[in-house]
């Protein structure tokens, strides 16, 4: 999957991966800490981390014998920007519907409700 946005949403579709992102949102954790927090095997967590890393949502590094996992906020920003674009369109449509309803109600009030 070459499209970065598709990789991001694919990664975010899994609840375990979303939980991992929430766990590292306040700071890096080691892979072992993530394994312990999620009650999954180390190979299972490694597969989730690989998907998150390929999506640009996390960064792993090697520090001595540990492998801290860091959140990459730019990956989440990319998804947020895409959603925000459509949220603005939906809000505009809802505003127009609200204005139409208000106009129709005012018209009914002027003409007397039946």
The reported pLDDT for the residue numbered 114 is: 54
Q: Name the band, by pLDDT with cuts 50, 70 and 90, for residue 108.
A: confident
Using one digit for the tens of pLDDT, what is the confidence trace for 4-56?
Answer: 899 999 999 999 999 999 999 999 999 999 999 998 999 999 999 999 999 99
The reported pLDDT for the residue numbered 92 is 78
E strand or H helix at 110, and its extent? helix 73-111
Q: List all residues 6 or more positions away from 62 whose beta carbon is below 8 Å from its beta carbon.
A: none
Quick one: which H or E segment has residue 60? Answer: strand 58-60
pLDDT tens digits, 72-85? 999 999 999 999 98
Q: CATH number of the domain at 70, please.
A: 1.10.10.10
Query: Residue 113: what pLDDT?
Result: 63
CB proximity list for 5: less than 8 A, separation 6 or greater: 78, 79, 82
The residues with which 58 forms a beta bridge, in sequence order, are 71
A 10 A CB-CB count for 7 gives 19
Number of domains observed in the structure of the chain: 1
Residues 6+ apart with CB under 8 A from 59: 53, 69, 70, 72
Question: For the purposes of burial, counting CB atoms within 10 Å of the CB of 16, is it exposed (0-12), middle (13-18) or buried (19 or more)?
Answer: middle
Q: What domain range includes position 51?
A: 4-111
Give kind and range of the element (H or E) at residue 59: strand 58-60
């Amino acid at each position: 999957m070459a499209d970065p946005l598709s990789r991001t949403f694919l990664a975010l579709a899994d609840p375990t991966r979303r939980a991992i992102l929430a766990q590292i949102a306040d700071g890096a954790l080691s892979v072992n800490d993530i394994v312990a927090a999620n009650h999954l095997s180390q190979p299972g967590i490694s597969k989730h981390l690989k998907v998150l890393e390929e999506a640009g949502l996390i960064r792993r590094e090697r520090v001595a014998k540990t492998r801290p996992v860091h959140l990459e906020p730019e990956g989440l920003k990319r998804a947020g920007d895409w959603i925000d674009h459509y949220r603005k369109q939906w809000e505009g449509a809802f505003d127009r519907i609200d204005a139409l309803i208000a106009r129709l109600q005012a018209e009914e009030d002027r003409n007397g409700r039946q």
